[in-house]
Amino acid sequence: MTAQRVCALSDLEQDAATRVEIDGVAMAVVLDSNGVVHAIGDVCTHGDISLSEGFVDGETLECWAHGSAFSLRTGKPLNLPAYEPVPVFAVTIDGDDVLIDPAVKLEVN
Ligand code: FES
């Protein structure tokens, strides 16, 4: 599978999450305050909650349900109750296009 356009860079709001889906894979796309675009799995590993409905704080996205904050760089939760990471996807910016390949998950330690 190749990277697909999910949205326009200019449509992303800074420090906010946008839910996108490619072939049934839901992702939360975030433009952080440093201008970096991240894509992580959209489903909280603690419950069936969309992380893109949560809150961006620096390089984390916090689940609104019980407060686990996931690193946008590693996908790891930084606090309980979630303890399993969400996947992190490689993002490519091409002009004003945000591209993601859902088959390419970053291995982040
Ligand atoms: S459902 Fe996300 S922390 Fe509980």
| Closest among 40, 81, 45 to 61, alpha carbons compared | 40
Contact between 79 and 44 (Cβ < 8 Å): no
pTM above 0.75, yes or no: yes
| Number of domains into which the chain is organized | 1
Report strand pairing: 37-41 vs 55-57.
Answer: unpaired
Contact 105, 5 (CB under 8 A): no
49 CB under 6 A from ligand 1?
Answer: yes
Full domain range(s) for residue 92: 4-105
Residue type, 44: C
Residue 37 tokens, joined: 């675009």
- Quote the CA–CA distance of 75 and 98 in Å, as a whole number: 19
Cα–ligand 1 centroid distance for 93 (angstroms) = 30
Tens place of pLDDT for every residue, the chain, 109 residues? 689 999 999 999 999 999 999 999 999 999 999 999 999 999 999 999 999 999 999 999 999 999 999 999 999 999 999 999 999 999 999 999 999 999 878 877 6
CATH of the domain at 79: 2.102.10.10
Ligand 1: which of 42, 44, 52, 62 to mutate, most ligand atoms within 8 Å of CB? 44
